[in-house]
Amino acid sequence: MHTVRRLPALLAALLAVGLIAACGSDPEPAETDAQATPERVVSLSPSATETLWAIGAGSQVIAVDGQSNYPADVPTQQDLSGFTPNVEAIIAYQPDLVIIDDAPDDLAAGLQAAGIPLLSQPAPTTLDDAYAQIEQIGAATGRIGDAAELVSRMRTQIAEVVDDTPPAELSYYHELDPSLFSAGSASFVGQLYGLFGLTNIADGADAYPQLSEEFVVTADPDLIFLADVQCCGVTAATVADRAGWAEVAAVRDGRIYELDADVASRWGPRIVDTVERIGEVITEVHAVSAPN
């Protein structure tokens, strides 16, 4: 049996800024002035930052948090943080809208006292939640039409990828960090894999369980996806060298896939890239295993 524990403090903090996909609640309504179009937006969410640029609102953004790194020209500020937000540092940029994943009570109170609108968007649990958050950002920045177009395009692209991917009865293991925290089907990233009907070996009582070495080896996944390459130096080679993993199907057959953690964990427009990557892997495996 696998061990289920709460995420350690570092992973919990990373979840708050979108570096690792997490479960969340329905999007909260924006506390913004519907009559004003903000021109000094501060984003404390990498996912929101990507969305702002994708809907054409980048010119309205004056600063983003230190974890926001895409697109390449975003105005990243190391004194801004989504998981340890500093009210004074934020106010110093004189924003007319602040966007964050989960707003701590002290941040919400501090910005309210300063008269600064806040849009708090907890990490989504479904694709529909993610689409709703994109549309919220569009409404908050006067880009309603652009956001609607982006969501429509994403829906179409994802549907096309899923339709074009051959069916495959495969199991998978998605690794979040070397201590074997994984993402179950109830997690946001787990639902992306679920679009293709893949079987998740990490399913259980928790959306982000910590598995044991013995459990993974016994579960014998057909595919392994690594979302801990950049953070922790994990590679297909280091996984293959783990004691007892040599006979795991994914290791034996060379089906270990290294993911860009930023792309795989954020819920902005690059969700499509993650879906495309999963589809590519399934198509590749299907082509190799199909009878001649």
Specify the 3-state DSSP secondary structure of 118. Answer: strand
Determine the CATH number of domain 166-289: 3.40.50.1980
Position 288 scores a pLDDT of: 86
Q: How sure is the predictor about 36, in pLDDT bands with cuts at 50, 70 and 90?
A: confident
- Is the pLDDT reported for residue 18 higher than 80? no
Phi/psi-derived region of residue 56, left when phi > 0, alpha when psi is between -120 and 50, beta in every other case: left
CA atoms of 266 and 270, how far apart (whole Å): 7
Residue among 218, 284, 212, 278 at smallest CA distance from 253: 284
Lowest model confidence (mean pLDDT) among 26-35, 173-182, 234-243: 26-35
220, 246 Cβ separation under 8 angstroms: no
**What is the average per-residue pLDDT within 15-38?**
46
Position 289 scores a pLDDT of: 77
Specify the 3-state DSSP secondary structure of 212. Answer: coil
Beta-strand ranges (E) seen in the chain are 41-43, 61-64, 97-100, 118-120, 171-175, 199-200, 223-226, 256-258
DSSP label at residue 245:
-
40, 62 Cβ separation under 8 angstroms: yes
Determine the CATH number of domain 9-17+24-160: 3.40.50.1980
**Count of beta carbons in the 10 Å neighbourhood of residue 206:** 19
- Is the pLDDT reported for residue 219 higher than 70? yes
Q: Which residues contact 272 (CB under 8 A, 6 or more apart)?
A: 154, 157, 158, 161
Q: How sure is the predictor about 292, in pLDDT bands with cuts at 50, 70 and 90?
A: low
**Between 205 and 284, whose confidence is greater?**
284
**What is the average per-residue pLDDT within 15-31?**
37
CA atoms of 234 and 226, how far apart (whole Å): 7
Domains 9-17+24-160 and 166-289 share a fold: yes
Q: What is the mean pLDDT of the chain?
A: 89
Pairing state of beta strands 199-200 and 171-175?
Answer: parallel
Q: What is the per-residue pLDDT across 123-169, written as a single tens digit (0 to 9) for each?
A: 999 999 999 999 999 999 999 999 999 999 999 999 999 999 999 89
Q: How sure is the predictor about 35, in pLDDT bands with cuts at 50, 70 and 90?
A: low
- Is the pLDDT reported for residue 199 higher than 50? yes
Position 204 scores a pLDDT of: 84
Domain residue ranges of the chain, discontinuous segments joined by +: 9-17+24-160, 166-289
Residue among 76, 108, 84, 105 at smallest CA distance from 9: 84
- Is the pLDDT reported for residue 282 higher than 70? yes
What tokens does 1 get? Answer: 């049996």
**Helix H or strand E segment including 132:** helix 127-140
Q: How sure is the predictor about 290, in pLDDT bands with cuts at 50, 70 and 90?
A: low
- Of all residues in the chain, the percent with pLDDT exceeding 90 is 84
